[in-house]
Amino acid sequence: MKAEGLPNLETYDVLWTLEQADRCALRLNDLGEKVFIARFNVTRICDKLEEQGLIEKVKCPMDKRGVHAALTDEGKALRKKMWDFYSKQIEEKFSSKLTTEDHEMLMKILLKIGIVS
């Protein structure tokens, strides 16, 4: 991704997770539980994404101490651009090398461990 001028996978993980959330926003604590990033790094990454205009932090309406990370239109556009590149790489380097049976087994494993539903 770096050679293509795209951010790292941590950025993609945060943007994708927010895009899947209700109203494209999550409390930072909840975001930290859902992403594949060490929880102590979530705030740092979100600070960087906010500086870039990809997310915005807003106070939780119910709990003034809490903060939501909300995906911006720019963040959605970047996530889509990243997926366009990333999905081609997955197909080329991984998926195209698997048989139909391999794909079925992989889906069973991902379902079993809760990665997909």
Residue-wise pLDDT tens digits, 36-65: 888 889 999 999 999 999 999 998 877 777
- d(CA 21, CA 79) in angstroms, rounded, equals 14
- Residue 66: the pLDDT is 85
Q: What amino acid is encoded at 18 in this protein?
A: L
The residue extents of the domains of the chain are 2-113
- d(CA 67, CA 54) in angstroms, rounded, equals 16
Residue of higher predicted confidence among 40 and 11? 11
User: Which CATH code fits 2-113?
Assistant: 1.10.10.10
- Residue 114: the pLDDT is 84
- Residue 40: the pLDDT is 85
Contacting residues for 20 by C-beta, under 8 A, at least 6 apart: none
Mean pLDDT of 84-99: 92
Mean pLDDT of 6-25: 94
